[in-house]
Amino acid sequence: MHKKMAFSFPDEVLEHVFSFIQSDKDRNSVSMVCKSWYEIERYCRRKVFVGNCYAVSPRMVIRRFPEFRSIELKGKPHFADFNLVPDGWGGYVFPWIAEMAGALPWLEEIKLKRMVVTDESLELIAKSFKNFKVLVLSSCEGFSTDGLAAIAATCKNLKELDLRDCEGDDLGWHWLSYFPDTYTSLVSLNISCLGSDEVSFSALERLVGRCTNLRTLRLNRAVPLDKIANILRHAPQLVEFGTGSYTADLRPDIYSDLAGAFSSCKELKSLSGFWDVVPAYLPAIYPVCSKLTSLNLSYATLQSSDLIKLVSHCPNLQRLLVLDYIEDSGLEALASICNDLQELRVFPSDPFGVEPNVSLTEQGLVAVSSGCPKLQSVLYFCRQMSNEALVTIAKNRPNFTRFRLCIIEPTTADYLTLEPLDVGFGAIVQYCKDLQRLSLSGLLTDRVFEYIGTYAKKLEMLSIAFAGDGDLGLHHVLSGCESLRKLEIRDCPFGDKALLANAEKLETMRSLWMSSCAVSFGACKLLGQKMPRLNVEVIDERGPPDSRPESCPVDKLYIYRTLVGPRFDMPPFVWTMEDDPSLQQLSRANLM
Amino acid sequence: MPNMELQLGLALPTPNMIKGFDLNNHRLDHLKQRGCFSNKSKRSFEQAFGNFKQDGKTKTLLLWSGQPNEEEDHKDQKKTTFSTIDDNDDEEVEQVVGWPPIKTWRKKIFNQPNGVGGIENNRVADKENGRSIYVKVKMEGVAITRKVDIRLYLSYQTLSNSLITMFSKDKKCGDDDSTRYILTYQDKEGDWLIAGDIPWQSFMRCVQRLKIIRNRD
């Protein structure tokens, strides 16, 4: 019988085949082929990705994938980065650690983003996983260096400790001395977000010295420049390095020490740090510049001329993060020198000033889009834009996958024509057919959303602020963007109609955030009742929404799909709209 | 600190402004106060959001009224996070929460010299840790306001040289080389003085802003 052939491969063979399939999407597809593939796949899945920690419970994940070794979890919505999510909203990792502690003693990797990580959680990780290797905390908060000390002291096989943009209590550097003298397996250490001034370098130097496999080391602002040379000499094999404070009195001995140390690092490909940079010390890195593929100067307050000089030594740059001090002239130079550039981020040096403090305009972006054929990811803060420029940019670079433009003053029109920037952004979505991520700004009407709904078929994440005329705008997006997973909106006149008309769409997305819009409490309740597989969270620090009329708009709304219903760890200013009790029975049954 | 009262003249001073604090909560408190009580807020609201058609938006764009989050205070003693608010410049727009969209972490690199809050990190005189001190520099007749890190200079001479380079491209056509300029600065008390009279170190500690004006003698 032909049917038998499908099952004639022993499980081990299929497992072996599946082991070559790494991406989650592909793994998910594999698991849907047939029941036996589902079963085989779930036992051999080693990496689990949970994009929203409240979409599913740890127990469910463990039940389905009993043998995973690596987990990536994300907590708060993206707008939490900009203080739009009040403290205490949620995203606690402890319950996950607690569940995994018992069930997965061989867990090796934990990667967390925008979650609350307490010292207790860190201590539990250290205690529970004997072969723990990788801890990446990105934009997390809630821990102190005491928790890090627990990890250092206990995790003998730790390879990676990466703290990016975290907010914690830095109580000093002594946690580093908790790494035992016998510990040598560190490959990657990123402590750039710590900041205590109580520095003790001997522990750091000894650690760096004995970990001969160290490839990535990102220091923080508290490490002075005259300590860098010594550290680099202990680790000439470094591939990625982040300096501390790049300033010192101008002394020839410090300079030559530093230059010598950098010269001996033949493998360096990525540099970052450069806080408080003094231009006179920059040439010390010239020996390594020609090999650099990634350069993060986003904390470096250098003038345009110094930036141009530096960049001209780095023709192989693929990734550049820089402040807008680079100005249009610097970006023009960049465009002519760095032909391999793939990612550019230009941050504002004076975000809250009204007058421009630097000569950076849309021209810089036009230049880069023209001169860098491989450019696909852009984050650009500026103060003026025109439709003409955006159209040019779109035509120059149809290969954009990420385009995030922030015109600093909200609702700024095209400075040449005073029209909205609908046409410009419309060109971006029309020409850049593979666009996955888009952030809008400037003066925008519903028209731009019509363009987006029509053309942005691969768009997965969209950020909107101070834009649109009414519900039609939101409707275009929800009904037209087939690949949309994350939508975040603030200060737009979008109300109930579009949301309710596209309720089903919300189940196909990870999440929707709307703050300072016009969605009424009544609509939220209705949505919550009708869609049991969505959590409709109303976040309102003014007090309970039912103390106001139903037509009153809610302050903030966070809607996400979930298999596990309302969460139980909500603070007093968050309400989850109740499911319709009759529907509730149905949805619970579906979970079994 | 007399300086505080001057700068926050149009807003109710809050006790939170004086000690060090976490950007997350206390910035919101400040905005709440200004938003509710300051005349300035209205003007700049129109400035910023003049295009909005819906009237009901006023409230939603400014902050909701609520209670400042007191429980954050005790955590701040040990924290080495710094505050970055520059809210004493009357040329600045009323700030909307979370706009422009810059990560909290990134905002922390801008340490203002007249920083709100007596946080240790404002180490003006301490060369060891090299904290930058940014002051705005305006030149008469030039639209763009620049910023310089005073800590990069060792004397009035080096500062002037750098400023000359910086502004040379901005000189108006009417000026020629014989036009003389005077460098003036605003000190902590808010007075405008001619730069050069006090020792450089003292100058570094008290300068708030710089202005280059034409010598009309």
The nearest CA of chain A is from the CA of B170 a distance in Å of 11
pLDDT score recorded for residue A135: 98
- Which tokens go with A21? 């399939």
Q: Measured between CB atoms, which of A81, A491, A542 is closest to B64?
A: A542
| Neighbouring C-alpha atoms within 13 Å toward the C-beta of A62 | 16
pLDDT category of residue B121 using cuts at 50, 70 and 90: very low
- Picking from A281, A516, A542 by the largest number of B CB atoms within 10 A of its own CB, the best residue to mutate is A516
Sign of the Cα torsion A466, A467, A473, A478 reads: negative
Q: How far is CA B165 from CA A329, B76, B140, B203, in A?
A: 16, 42, 16, 21
- pLDDT, averaged per 10 consecutive residues of chain A (592 residues), comes to 61 91 92 93 95 98 97 98 95 97 97 97 97 97 93 97 89 87 97 78 92 96 92 96 93 94 97 94 96 96 94 97 96 97 96 89 98 98 98 98 97 97 98 98 98 98 97 97 98 96 97 97 96 96 91 96 95 90 52 42
Tell me the count of A-B CB pairs closer than 8 A.
153
Q: Measured between CB atoms, which of A222, A463, A553 is closest to B60?
A: A553
- Highest mean pLDDT (candidates B32-46, B78-92, B150-164): B150-164
pTM attached to this predicted model: 0.77
| Cβ A541 vs Cβ A86: under 8 Å | yes
Q: Give the three-state DSSP class for A578.
A: coil
Q: Which residues on B lie below 8 Å from A190 (Cβ)?
A: none
pLDDT score recorded for residue B118: 26
| Neighbouring C-alpha atoms within 13 Å toward the C-beta of A274 | 25
The nearest CA of chain A is from the CA of B116 a distance in Å of 15
When comparing pLDDT for B75 and B166, which is higher?
B166
Dihedral of CA atoms A114, A118, A123, A124 in degrees, nearest 10, equals: -70
Q: Measured between CB atoms, which of B28, B48, B147 is closest to A409?
A: B48
Strands, E assignment, A408-564:
437-439, 461-465, 486-490, 511-515, 534-539, 556-561
Residues A263 and A236: their CA atoms lie apart, in Å, by 9
| Cβ A59 vs Cβ A98: under 8 Å | no
The nearest CA of chain A is from the CA of B189 a distance in Å of 22
| Neighbouring C-alpha atoms within 13 Å toward the C-beta of A46 | 11
| Inter-chain CB proximity A195 and B23 less than 8 Å | no
The nearest CA of chain A is from the CA of B209 a distance in Å of 14
How many angstroms from the chain centroid is the CA of residue B18? 15
How many angstroms from the chain centroid is the CA of residue A496? 30
> Residue B20: phi, psi to the nearest 5?
-70, 145
**CB within 8 Å of B161: residues ≥ 6 apart:** none
pLDDT score recorded for residue B9: 29
| Inter-chain CB proximity B48 and A553 less than 8 Å | no
**Counts for chain A of helices (H) and strands (E), in that order:** 23, 23
| Inter-chain CB proximity A197 and B80 less than 8 Å | yes
pLDDT category of residue B123 using cuts at 50, 70 and 90: very low
Closest residue of chain B to A275, computed from CA coordinates: B109
The nearest CA of chain A is from the CA of B117 a distance in Å of 18
pLDDT score recorded for residue B201: 81
pLDDT category of residue B217 using cuts at 50, 70 and 90: low
Q: Which residues on A lie below 8 Å from B89 (Cβ)?
A: 353
Mean pLDDT for B68-90 is 36
| Inter-chain CB proximity A408 and B100 less than 8 Å | yes
pLDDT category of residue B107 using cuts at 50, 70 and 90: confident
- Whose structure tokens read 């994350």? A486
Residues A426 and A403: their CA atoms lie apart, in Å, by 12
The nearest CA of chain B is from the CA of A8 a distance in Å of 54
Which residues are registered as beta bridge partners of A74? Answer: A113
pLDDT score recorded for residue A288: 96
| Cβ B147 vs Cβ B137: under 8 Å | yes
The nearest CA of chain A is from the CA of B50 a distance in Å of 8
| Inter-chain CB proximity B72 and A87 less than 8 Å | yes
| Inter-chain CB proximity B51 and A411 less than 8 Å | yes
Sign of the Cα torsion A525, A527, A532, A537 reads: negative
| Inter-chain CB proximity A224 and B131 less than 8 Å | no
Q: Measured between CB atoms, which of B95, B105, B145 is closest to A355?
A: B145
Task: Spell out the domains of chain A, with CATH numbers in brackets.
Answer: 7-45 (1.20.1280.50)
| Inter-chain CB proximity A299 and B109 less than 8 Å | yes
Q: Measured between CB atoms, which of A84, A195, A301 is closest to B80?
A: A195
| B41 has pLDDT over 50 | no
Q: Give the three-state DSSP class for A552.
A: coil
Residues B41 and B47: their CA atoms lie apart, in Å, by 10
Q: How far is CA A395 from CA A342, A370, A474, A576, B121, in A?
A: 17, 9, 26, 45, 47
The nearest CA of chain B is from the CA of A514 a distance in Å of 12
The nearest CA of chain B is from the CA of A155 a distance in Å of 26
Question: How do residues B179-216 score in pLDDT, each as one tens digit?
Answer: 678 899 988 888 889 988 888 888 888 888 898 888 77
pLDDT category of residue B159 using cuts at 50, 70 and 90: confident
| Cβ A52 vs Cβ A510: under 8 Å | yes
Task: Spell out the domains of chain B, with CATH numbers in brackets.
Answer: 132-169+177-216 (3.10.20.90)
pLDDT score recorded for residue A577: 94
| Cβ B61 vs Cβ B96: under 8 Å | yes
Residue count of chain B, please give it. Answer: 217
pLDDT score recorded for residue B168: 74
- Which tokens go with B64? 């909701």
- Picking from A76, A78, A79, A82 by the largest number of B CB atoms within 10 A of its own CB, the best residue to mutate is A82
When comparing pLDDT for B116 and A205, which is higher?
A205
pLDDT category of residue B39 using cuts at 50, 70 and 90: very low
Q: Which residues on A lie below 8 Å from B128 (Cβ)?
A: 224
Closest residue of chain B to A83, computed from CA coordinates: B98
- Picking from A191, A247, A296, A359 by the largest number of B CB atoms within 10 A of its own CB, the best residue to mutate is A247
Residues A517 and B60: their CA atoms lie apart, in Å, by 8
Long-range contacts of B5-12 (CB under 8 A, 24+ apart): B6/B88, B6/B190, B7/B87, B7/B88, B7/B114, B8/B87, B8/B88, B10/B34, B10/B38, B10/B39, B10/B40, B11/B37, B11/B38, B12/B37
How many angstroms from the chain centroid is the CA of residue A523? 31
| Inter-chain CB proximity A351 and B93 less than 8 Å | no
- Picking from B60, B126, B155 by the largest number of A CB atoms within 10 A of its own CB, the best residue to mutate is B60
| Inter-chain CB proximity B93 and A381 less than 8 Å | no
pLDDT category of residue B90 using cuts at 50, 70 and 90: very low
When comparing pLDDT for A413 and B142, which is higher?
A413
Q: Measured between CB atoms, which of A139, A465, A541 is closest to B64?
A: A541
Q: Which amino acid is at A572?
A: P
Residues B144 and B128: their CA atoms lie apart, in Å, by 32
Closest residue of chain B to A552, computed from CA coordinates: B56
Dihedral of CA atoms A138, A144, A147, A151 in degrees, nearest 10, equals: 50
Q: Which residues on B lie below 8 Å from A79 (Cβ)?
A: 98
